[in-house]
Amino acid sequence: MKASELRNLSDEELKEKERQLRRELFNLRFQKESGQLGDTSLIKKIKKDVARVLTILRERELKKVEEKD
């Protein structure tokens, strides 16, 4: 998922997206360990998506702090 698409989501939607991605990452890791995962590159992609979501949430948090000052 692209960062520009994520920026259009609200904070609550981003938090829900993070929960979904983390759940998916857990499932992929479980599949990998049990030998059922064919494409291991999916793990890397999901981890990057989680990082994007967290980065956008942090940017918004910092922006709110700046506006208060």
Token look-up 């918004």 returns 60
The predicted pLDDT at position 69 comes to 75
b/e map 19-43, b = 16+ CB within 10 Å: eebeeebeebeeeeeeeeeeeeeeb
pLDDT tens profile 16-67: 999 999 999 999 999 999 999 999 999 999 999 999 999 999 999 999 999 9
Task: Report the CATH fold assignment for 3-68.
Answer: Helix Hairpins (1.10.287)
The predicted pLDDT at position 17 comes to 97
- Give me the residue spans of the domains in the chain: 3-68
The DSSP H or E segment spanning 2 is: none
- Mean pLDDT calculated for residue range 5-16: 96
